[in-house]
Structure 1
Amino acid sequence: MKHFSHSKKFISLLLSVAVAMTMTLSTVMTPLAAASVSDLRQKLQEQQAALEKVNQQLKETQSDKADAQALKTQLEQQKSLLLSQIGTLTEQIGGLDNDIVNKQDEINQKQQEVDQKQAEYDQRWADFKDRMRAMQRLNDGGSIALLSSATNLYQLLTFATTLEQIVSKDEEICQQLEDEHTQLEQQRAELEQAKADLEAKKADYEAQKAALNSKTSELAENISQTDESISKAEAEEQALKEAQIEANKKVDEAAKELDAALNAANQAYGNASIQCSLDFGRPLATYKYVSCYFGGNGHRGTDYAAPGGTEIYAVSGGVVTAAAYHYSWGYYVQVYHGKDDNGNSYSTLYAHMNSAPIVSVGSSVSKGQTLGYVGSTGNSTGNHLHLEMKVNNVLVNVMNYLS
């Protein structure tokens, strides 16, 4: 009996020490875990900021590249239009060259006609003068005697009429030749003017072509400079994409570290005898619609669009293991719900609250208890609740567990 009494005292002492150690460890672990989560949260925030900066630089570079490519397309279209205009002018100038050559041929032909007509006129004039000189000699040599030799009046009148007709015919022919010569000269002058007009038009086209060639050269230089800008932007884009990959890796690492710390925070309270009934309730009394589903583009949870200020409820009883501000989540709360009959642990996280949570780390909450209110803090666009669930510290689709 005495031995049994000593054994009971020893066991009681051991239990007392164990309880004291458990309380001491719980007291020590909570501040350390909180400090670790806070540090990791700050680290993740810094990595997120660095990633956002790289993303912004990449966006600006891609925008600059797109602008440069659009400008190049515009310049090439202008150059193509100018080349088309130059081609048209070249064809027109070639046509004018042919017209000028043809016009010169017409002028040469007309000049030959003028020269021929002038020769005819000169010959007719020479013949006329020869007849005048013959008639003068006839008159000096006794034309009166010639007239006197006429045996009758008919012969006399016929001889006089013939002389008059010869003179009149020569005058008519000479006048006709002179008129034809004048007309040919006028035609030649018109051809010369037409040729001059063609040459002036050709000179105008050549001036336009020279101006277009100059503009084309300028556009070619601009296109070359734009190509350099595009190449530079592509090089910067490639470098930023590599930096983006590295920044994403760091963000992922920081997120994993934060997840591990949050899981550790759950584990710190895992020793508590919390039984998870798996009877999960609604996180909101009502909401508009699901704005983003779990897993879409790597989305960690489910987003419920709801008016700002809507009460956010714990989906099940448990203990608050995190309640703070996060760069991406904004104001958030994490609740550990304990283990089910099979030993699986459950926790949920509620993000983007409109202000600091109304619960604190270490406090017990019951199913349906208000944790905070819907907002849009952190990396958020519009009021909504971002709800995550973990089973055995692994993210799952919370919609598969809610009633």
Structure 2
Amino acid sequence: MKRVFWRAGLALVIALAFSSIIYGTSTLKNMQEQKKAIQQQIKKEYEELKAKKDEISLVYQEILKYDQQYFEVQQVLDVLETRLTEKKTEIETTQAQLVTAKEKEDVYYKNTKERIKVMYEYGNTEYIAVLLESSNAMDFYNRLEYLNKVVEYDKTMLRRLEDIREEIEETEGRLIIEKAEMEHTQAEALIRKNDIENIRVLKSQQIAAANKKKEFIESEIKERQREEALLDKKIEEHIAAIERERQKQNNNALKFKEGFLKWPLPGHYRITSPFEKREDPFTHKIAMHNGTDIGAPNGTPIYAAADGEVIYAAWMNGYGNTIMIDHGKNSSGQHVITLYAHCSSLVATKGAQVVGGQTVVAKVGSTGRSTGNHLHFGLKIGGAWVDPMKNTKK
């Protein structure tokens, strides 16, 4: 039964001895995995940021293209506006010329009609009188030719005035058509200008939205980088802690020397049960007694046998209140652990650093499977129980 207790105690000792390093390594691995996840997230966000910047750049290029088109359309509109103003002036001038030409034509036509009317009313007497007043034949023919020229002149002038009027009317019509065409072109240009302006507004909205998304991604990247920096700091601190733990164990190994365990009960040297096979006082069966029992009054201080770290300070089945101290490794690389059992009370706590021969770790008692006040002093080297008396100096 006692062997079962020792096996359970051994498993617990091993677990406790390496728990800090194992836990530290496990925690470090978790933090490194967290860092890897953060780095992957940062990489993903950088890819999103690049895509968003490319999108913004593309939209900016489109806006520049539409700005150029807007500028060109505006130039066309400016030219059209100038030409329309000029065309309106031309039309107004032509219309004024047309009015003048019509007035001249009307006046000349009116005068001609008056002469024709007079000739009709009075017959050809005036023309005949003009001819008869000729002094000779030559004068007659001259007067006749003159009268014919007057008639021909009237006809020519009427045709010329009519041609001028028709030409002005044609010019007016052409100018009106040109003006209408310009106004149509202007209307189309205005529509195009408005379309471009709407597109520019839409593209500006796209850029605003993209910039907002870009700023959000940048803030997320900064947050991830901040988390990564904090995690890096924690990892560094954790690695340093693990290194300190290893260094401490290495220091413990250097401090421990065979044959120089200090006596745990100064002034009390009575061995009540040595390290050997014996009859178990409870089962009455022969079994190995894996330690040395040292008799002492209840409450006697128990000192650490060597420098080390308390890895167990609690009740341990048949051993009652028990202290276990890890002293690191000896020169052969074997782990050294001492055990103090059946204590009435525990002074040291788990994790405490103790100094051999100086630190009180517990007090003598008779807890657990015990027949009287004593200290069960055990020593394990390299996983095997050995006689503590061969390694202890009184």
- Displacement of 1:170 in angstroms is 0.7
* 1:175-209 deviation line (CA, Å, top 9, x unaligned): 11212222222222222222222222222221111
- Displacement of 1:132 in angstroms is 1.2
Counterparts of residues 138-153 of structure 1 (less than 5 Å): 138-139=122-123, 152-153=136-137
Determine if contact 1:44/1:258 at 8 Å carries over to the other structure.
no
Q: How many residues are matched?
A: 253
SS at match of 2:211: helix
User: 2:55 matched to which residue of 1?
Assistant: 71
User: 2:155 matched to which residue of 1?
Assistant: 171
Partner Cα distance (1:146, 1:75) in 2: 93
TM-score when normalising by structure 1: 0.55
**Match among 85, 88, 95 for residue 111 of structure 1:** 95
Partner Cα distance (1:164, 1:140) in 2: 13
User: 1:95 matched to which residue of 2?
Assistant: 79
Are 1:235 and 2:224 counterparts? no
- Displacement of 1:211 in angstroms is 0.8
- Structure 1 spans left out of the alignment, 5+ residues: 1-25, 274-317, 322-361, 363-403
Are 1:56 and 2:40 counterparts? yes
- Displacement of 1:67 in angstroms is 2.8
Structure 1 residues 124 and 72 mapped into 2: Cα distance closer, same or farther (>3 Å)?
same
TM-score when normalising by structure 2: 0.56
* 1:120-166 deviation line (CA, Å, top 9, x unaligned): 22122112111212222342657657655656434443343332221
Partner Cα distance (2:200, 2:63) in 1: 6
Determine if contact 1:33/1:261 at 8 Å carries over to the other structure.
no
Partner Cα distance (1:179, 1:319) in 2: 134
Partner Cα distance (1:320, 1:55) in 2: 40
**Match among 102, 107, 112 for residue 128 of structure 1:** 112
Partner Cα distance (1:155, 1:59) in 2: 119
User: 1:253 matched to which residue of 2?
Assistant: 237
Determine if contact 2:130/2:143 at 8 Å carries over to the other structure.
no
Letter in 2 for 1:177: L
Structure 1 residues 320 and 191 mapped into 2: Cα distance closer, same or farther (>3 Å)?
farther
- Displacement of 1:105 in angstroms is 0.4
Structure 1 residues 27 and 172 mapped into 2: Cα distance closer, same or farther (>3 Å)?
closer
Letter in 1 for 2:111: D
Greater Rg, structure 1 or structure 2? 2
- Structure 2 spans left out of the alignment, 5+ residues: 1-9, 258-330, 335-381, 383-394
Aligned-pair identity (%): 17
Determine if contact 1:30/1:268 at 8 Å carries over to the other structure.
no
CA RMSD of aligned residues (A): 3.3
- Displacement of 1:215 in angstroms is 0.4
- Displacement of 1:33 in angstroms is 5.0
Structure 1 residues 320 and 194 mapped into 2: Cα distance closer, same or farther (>3 Å)?
farther
Counterparts of residues 153-232 of structure 1 (less than 5 Å): 153-232=137-216
Structure 1 residues 79 and 320 mapped into 2: Cα distance closer, same or farther (>3 Å)?
farther
* 1:72-98 deviation line (CA, Å, top 9, x unaligned): 233234324423432332233122111
Partner Cα distance (1:38, 1:102) in 2: 94
- Displacement of 1:212 in angstroms is 0.8
Partner Cα distance (2:38, 2:134) in 1: 131
Partner Cα distance (1:191, 1:319) in 2: 117
Greater displacement, 30-39 / 202-211 = 30-39
- Displacement of 1:218 in angstroms is 0.3
